[in-house]
Amino acid sequence: MAIHRFVKAIFNDEEITVFGDGTQTRDFTFVDDFVEANILADANEIEGEVFNVGGGSRVSVNELIELLEKRTEKNAKIKYIEKQKGDVRDTLADTSKISNELNWKPKVKIEEGLKRFMEWYENHVRDE
């Protein structure tokens, strides 16, 4: 959701609100990787198991915005506000279980995922 909101804001010259200082990190997962993991679990007839699915690397919110700025060739308007209560500092999915049991690993790195998302956004959403 953050990526979609950030891209929309950058294209529309709107402000991006960042909770905290932007150094907090997140593990973003590209939708194709998520779908593949679910199909793989279904094909193996796994019942009652829980698997973490993640992109496999962390990126700070500031780094994410910089990647989007580079891709759009536009400067983001950023407003930093107080972090939200209860928000975790960093996230990184432990995908060892799904890797070991189903031989699944994420394939789409953050840069490639952003490229694909931006292409989709420009072709399907931007002018709406």
What value does the mean pLDDT take over residues 55-61? 93
Contacts (Cβ under 8 Å, ≥6 apart) of 63: none
Q: How many domains does the chain have?
A: 1
Q: pTM surpassing 0.85?
A: yes
Residue labelled with tokens 């796994």:
46
Domain that holds residue 19: 2-124
Residue 101's CATH number: 3.40.50.720
- What does the pLDDT look like over 32-55, one tens digit per residue? 999 999 999 999 988 899 999 999
- What does the pLDDT look like over 63-87, one tens digit per residue? 999 999 999 999 999 999 999 999 9
